[in-house]
Amino acid sequence: MHKFIITTQEELTLIIDKSVSKKLDGLRELIMNKVNPSKQKLTVKEVAQKLNVTELTTRNYIQKGYIKADKIGRRVLIDASELEKSLTEIKSLKYKRL
């Protein structure tokens, strides 16, 4: 059973471009992740540098519950995605009307 589709050259070009770009987008994302891997866990020092505060301030934020952290032995590690969530929550609370 064969199906024949009648289309114009422009429609065919559009269909091919869409299907090729879908495949290339996945490949581009894979290449970018390999070239620039995102670090999953950050140390207190790295978070302090990222937020432009001292390490003590970062530890205080963790203690107060503003930033979620995991303690593994003596090391304190902060998940990068959780840090971003924490920052957006703090910003929304900062500008919340009472």
What pLDDT, on a 0 to 100 scale, did the predictor assign at position 2?
81
Domain assignments of the chain as residue spans, ordered by start: 8-37, 41-94
Consecutive sets of 10 residues in the chain, 98 residues long: mean pLDDT of each?
Answer: 84 90 85 74 91 91 90 90 80 56
Measured CA distances, 62 to 11, 22, 78, 80, 98 (Å): 56, 41, 9, 14, 25
What pLDDT, on a 0 to 100 scale, did the predictor assign at position 92?
58
Look at the pTM and tell me if it is higher than 0.95. no
List the beta bridge partners of residue 77: 43, 70
What pLDDT, on a 0 to 100 scale, did the predictor assign at position 45?
93
Q: Which fold has domain 41-94?
A: Arc Repressor Mutant, subunit A (1.10.10)
